[in-house]
Amino acid sequence: MPAFGVQSSVMENLISIRGLTVAFDGVPALRGIDLDVQPGEAVGLVGESGCGKSVTWLAALGLLPGHAAVGGSVRLGGQELLGAPAQTLDKVRGGRVAMIFQDPASALNPVIRVGRQVEEALRLHRGLTGAAARAEARRLFEQVGIPDPAGRLNSFAHEMSGGQNQRVMIAMALAGRPDLLIADEPTTALDATIQAQILDLLRRVQQDHGMALVLISHDLGVVADLCSKVGVMYAGRMIEDGSADQIFQSPSHPYTRGLLAALPEMIGPRRRLEAIQGAVPNPADMPPGCAFAPRCTQAGSDCDAGTPNLRRVAGGHRAACLRIAA
């Protein structure tokens, strides 16, 4: 079965995830994820908290704690990352795949000046030290729109706003000239006006650097704005994927439709927003078949028979639901 993204292009994948599973102390968190990212493309991953969006990428980069059991395959340009030696992973992290996180204030080391934290990445991945590293860090600060870049190099994270800290994180991510930037809920902790600025900045650096971008978010609007391809996750599985247009214009999976129905519309008559009934299943006690069946208005007894696989809806658009006419 082709993975997400493979059909739409003949380009070689930058990163290829196959059958990725993660369990924490025996409780499954990811139950087999297939995902491809091609050079320079922007992919959105959406879903509720705990569905495995972040865990997918933390697992891919070997950033999960020791008690997590990871299985499957993650290949970066033909190189297997799962189980790779520490030196290999240290080169990949920050050098080929960079990551920024939800709460920039706590993601920066509180006792090290932000400039030094960026220079550390420059030293590791580009061998820059001393004045050269300082000058490059300053240039990166300018590029991500930090006012008074030379002065700000000497600041600590607590002396700057959340938006500024996220700009520092982006500068640090760009320091290694990565091929892929994973942005894990990059605007969730920020004010609405700052959110828009950070998203603009992400769009700009993605285009300027020709990097691929994976945007992890529970905010559908953010994903629709930035990404050309979207994957929807639920309870540790990919349940729908396709182009942003396909997902947002003609969602197929009842869960995706539920997510979109829960959003207010800017135009048209006012209507009552629809909530998805029930709650996400406990990972230690999953339903026998489709994980969404207990909350699904269209579920029948056949939905409990087995976990549905992704099936084709239209060119490049797939959903894991038995109700989709094949």
245, containing H or E segment? helix 244-249
- 124 vs 196 by CB, closer to other proteins: 124
Query: How far is residue 140's CA from residue 120's CA, in Å, rounded to a whole number?
Result: 13
- Minimum Å distance from CB 77 to other proteins? 16
Q: Is 176 in the site for other proteins (CB under 8 A)?
A: yes
Q: Is 152 in the site for other proteins (CB under 8 A)?
A: no
- Minimum Å distance from CB 24 to other proteins? 14
Q: Which of residues 255-294 bind other proteins (CB under 8 A)?
A: none
Q: Is 134 in the site for other proteins (CB under 8 A)?
A: no
Q: Which of residues 11-70 bind other proteins (CB under 8 A)?
A: 58, 61, 63
- 67 vs 272 by CB, closer to other proteins: 67
Q: Is 124 in the site for other proteins (CB under 8 A)?
A: yes
Q: Which of residues 59-78 bind other proteins (CB under 8 A)?
A: 61, 63
For other proteins, the binding residue among 15, 30, 53, 125 (CB under 8 A) is 125
List CB contacts of 60: < 8 A, sequence separation 6 or more: 15, 17, 20, 74, 81, 82, 97
For other proteins, the binding residue among 121, 190, 202, 319 (CB under 8 A) is 121
Question: Which two three-digit tokens encode residue 320?
Answer: 């894991």
List CB contacts of 107: < 8 A, sequence separation 6 or more: 100, 101, 165, 169
Q: How many residues bind other proteins (CB under 8 A)?
A: 34
- 3 vs 76 by CB, closer to other proteins: 76
The candidate with the shortest Cα–Cα distance to 110, out of 157, 152, 153, is 157
- 113 vs 312 by CB, closer to other proteins: 113
Query: How far is residue 274's CA from residue 277's CA, in Å, rounded to a whole number?
Result: 9
The candidate with the shortest Cα–Cα distance to 214, out of 224, 199, 227, 201, is 227
- CB contact at 8 A, 14 and 7: no
- CB contact at 8 A, 244 and 227: yes
195, containing H or E segment? helix 192-209
Query: How far is residue 317's CA from residue 229's CA, in Å, rounded to a whole number?
Result: 10
Q: Looking up tokens 């520490």, which residue turns up?
A: 86
Q: Is 115 in the site for other proteins (CB under 8 A)?
A: no
Q: Is 172 in the site for other proteins (CB under 8 A)?
A: yes
**What mask, x for binding other proteins by CB under 8 A, covers residues 81 to 100?**
-----xx--xxxxxx--xx-
Binding site for other proteins (CB under 8 A): 58, 61, 63, 86-87, 90-95, 98-99, 101, 103, 106-112, 120-121, 124-125, 156, 158-159, 169, 172-173, 175-176
